[in-house]
Amino acid sequence: MKFIVSTTSLLRNLQMVNGVISTSTVLPILEDFLFEISKNSLTISGTDLETSISTSLEIESKAEGKVAIPARILVDYLKTLPEQPLTISVNDDNYSVEITTDRGKYKLNGENGSDFPRIPVAENTSELSMSTGILQKAINKSLFAVSNDELRPQMTGVYFQLNNEGVTFVATDAHKLVRYKRTDTTVKDAASFIVPKKALNLLKGILPGEETQVQISYNSSNAFFSFNNINLICRLIDARYPDYNAVIPTDNPNELLVNRADLLNTLRRVMIFSNKTTHQVILKLTGNSLNVSAQDLDFSNEAKEDLDCQYSGEDMEIGFNARFLQEMLQAMDNEEVKIELSTPNRAGILLPTESEEGEDLLMLVMPVMLSA
In whole angstroms, give the CA distance from residue 69 to residue 173.
39
Give residue 355's pLDDT.
85
Give residue 371's pLDDT.
60
Q: What is the rounded average pLDDT of the residues 37-55?
A: 95
For residue 372, what pLDDT band results from cuts at 50, 70 and 90? Answer: very low
In whole angstroms, give the CA distance from residue 313 to residue 287.
8
Is the confidence at residue 173, as pLDDT, over 50? Answer: yes
In whole angstroms, give the CA distance from residue 288 to residue 208.
44
Is the confidence at residue 77, as pLDDT, over 90? Answer: yes
Q: What is the rounded average pLDDT of the residues 15-44?
A: 93
Report the 3 state secondary structure along the chain: CEEEEEHHHHHHHHHHHHCCCCCCCCCHHHHEEEEEEECCEEEEEEECCCEEEEEEEECECCCCEEEEEEHHHHHHHHHCCCCCEEEEEECCCCCEEEEECCCCEEEEECEEHHHCCCCCCCCCCEEEEEEHHHHHHHHHHHHHHCCCCCCCHHHCEEEEEEECCEEEEEEECCCEEEEEEECCCCCCCCEEEEEEHHHHHHHHHHCCCCCCEEEEEECCCEEEEEECCEEEEEECCCCCCCCHHHHCCCCCCEEEEEEHHHHHHHHHHHHHHCCCCCCEEEEEEECCEEEEEEEECCCCEEEEEEEECEEECCCEEEEEEHHHHHHHHHHCCCCEEEEEECCCCCCEEEEECCCCCCEEEEEEECCCCCCC
Q: What is the rounded average pLDDT of the residues 80-104?
A: 94
Contact by Cβ (8 Å): 196, 51? yes
Give residue 359's pLDDT.
93
Span 185-243, pLDDT tens digits: 889 999 999 999 999 999 999 999 889 999 999 999 999 999 999 999 999 999 999 99
Q: How confident is the prediction for the chain on average, in pLDDT?
A: 94
Give the residue among 325, 321, 306 at the shortest CA–CA distance from 276.
Answer: 321
Is the confidence at residue 370, as pLDDT, over 80? Answer: no
Phi/psi-derived region of residue 124, left when phi > 0, alpha when psi is between -120 and 50, beta in every other case: left
Give residue 356's pLDDT.
86
Could you tell me the fold of the domain covering 248-365? DNA Polymerase III; Chain A, domain 2 (3.10.150)
Domain formed by 126-245, architecture: Roll (3.10)
In whole angstroms, give the CA distance from residue 233 to residue 50.
8
What are the φ/ψ torsions at residue 89 (nearest 5 degrees)?
A: -115, 140
Span 101-156, pLDDT tens digits: 988 999 999 999 999 999 999 999 999 999 999 999 999 999 999 999 999 999 99
Kindly state which CATH superfamily the domain 2-115 is placed in: DNA Polymerase III, subunit A, domain 2 (3.10.150.10)
Q: What is the rounded average pLDDT of the residues 352-370?
A: 91
Q: Where are the domains of the chain?
A: 2-115, 126-245, 248-365
Span 284-327, pLDDT tens digits: 999 889 999 999 988 899 999 999 999 999 999 999 999 999 99
Number of CB atoms found within 10 A of residue 356's CB: 13
Same fold, 2-115 and 126-245: yes
Q: What is the rounded average pLDDT of the residues 46-70?
A: 95
Q: What is the rounded average pLDDT of the residues 148-172?
A: 95
pTM for the whole structure = 0.93
For residue 22, what pLDDT band results from cuts at 50, 70 and 90? Answer: confident
Q: Which residues contact 28 (CB under 8 A, 6 or more apart)?
A: none
Q: Which residues contact 119 (CB under 8 A, 6 or more apart)?
A: 34, 45, 47, 52, 54, 233
pLDDT-above-70 percentage for the chain: 99
Number of CB atoms found within 10 A of residue 68's CB: 24
